[in-house]
Amino acid sequence: AKDAGGNRYEVADPDSDARAIDRHSLTTHLPAALERDEFFLEFQPLIRMSDGTVDGAEALVRWAHPVHGRLGPDRFIPLAEHTGLIVPLGRWVLEQAVAQTCTWASGLPLRVNVNLSPRQLHHPDLVPDTIAVLEAAGVEPSALCLEVTESALISADEAELKPLWQLAELGVDIALDDFGTGYSNLANLRKLPATTLKLDRSFTQGLQRHPADPVDVTFVEGIVSLAHALGLAVTVEGVETEHQAGQLRELGCDTAQGWYYARPSSATEFAREWATS
Ligand code: C2E
Ligand code: CA
Ligand code: CA
Ligand code: CA
């Protein structure tokens, strides 16, 4: 609020005014933040639509900023991507996420999804680093899914895709994130190492309405049949209502993620909530 007064900072809530925080100052503090362990992960379950059980978890990074409070990734990932800090930060995320799956022993999925930025994708250490992290934790490659945005993959040439193919050959799953927002040539799908399409939230929103937007229904139906024909699984993002979940299940989507099932939460809370499911 305005009356906080003077030049005092307020502790921000996750969605507070982005403009109030100086991007330059955030950018310069990123390296120290990584050293001081100010980043932390939250986990959101991926739910099998066939039976409602949990199939895995997506790791989502947050920054516990000493002045501004908790910051969401949209506030600092683009800055880290710009400066290159995303490479060590992304490696930290991978390590933490993979280590976390080991502590979730019985009753919980050992599968974890980790987001990769374009800059990580193009870094020469991606393959050796990923293998090293998995080996150090004693985790099978098939327990890891790397999420790469459709736009990052679509613009990549053959040489740039090679590391992902190598990881895919080792058994790491590759998901095409934010699918539907990248204007990709659908025929290109078969040339990508992806095993899963994550259909962007913007395409599942129309299914919240009663009745659902017929254009959105047709779109989802088409994508699901194309994906399945190509041997890809379909995950839907942003499922917020029961109505929407029911329709997406009927349309043949394999896995779902969204507030209807669970918001992202700490590893401890995630385990408490899902270990008994
Ligand atoms: P994303 O990969 O598309 O992740 C899904 C985002 O949707 C997350 O936002 C999640 O909290 C949010 N979400 C989940 N369910 C719902 C729902 O039902 N409704 C709505 N409205 N939103 C939902 P979050 O955590 O703020 O992350 C934003 C983006 O930041 C992510 O989008 C991803 O692109 C990026 N990101 C997060 N963690 C990392 C990371 O470790 N590395 C990289 N490179 N990027 C990351
Ligand atoms: Ca993602
Ligand atoms: Ca996404
Ligand atoms: Ca997104």
**Predicted confidence (pLDDT) at residue 261 exceeds the cutoff of 70:** yes
125-168, pLDDT tens digit by residue?
Answer: 999 999 999 999 999 999 999 999 988 887 788 888 999 999 99
Tokens of 180: 């539907």
- Report H helices in the chain: 23-35, 73-83, 86-103, 118-121, 126-137, 150-154, 158-170, 214-229, 242-250, 267-274
Report d(CA 270, CA 56) in Å as an integer: 11
Q: Atom of ligand 1 at shortest distance to CA of 257?
A: 15
Report d(CA 153, CA 189) in Å as an integer: 10
| Ligand 3 geometric centre to CA of 219 (Å) | 17
Is residue 30 within 8 Å of 76, Cβ to Cβ? yes
Report d(CA 230, CA 133) in Å as an integer: 30
Percent of the chain at pLDDT above 70? 89
Q: Which residue puts its alpha carbon closest to atom 19 of ligand 1?
A: 238
User: Would you state the pLDDT for residue 20?
Assistant: 57
| Ligand 4 geometric centre to CA of 178 (Å) | 5
94-123, pLDDT tens digit by residue?
Answer: 999 999 988 876 667 679 999 999 999 999
| Ligand 1 geometric centre to CA of 6 (Å) | 34
**φ/ψ bin of 52: left (φ > 0), alpha (ψ from -120 to 50), beta (otherwise):** left
DSSP string, 198-231: EE-GGGTGGGGSSSPPHHHHHHHHHHHHHHHHTT
Is residue 72 within 8 Å of 115, Cβ to Cβ? no
pTM for the full predicted model: 0.91
For the Cβ of 108 lying below 6 angstroms from any atom of ligand 1, the answer is: no
Which one of the ligands is nearest to 257 CA?
1
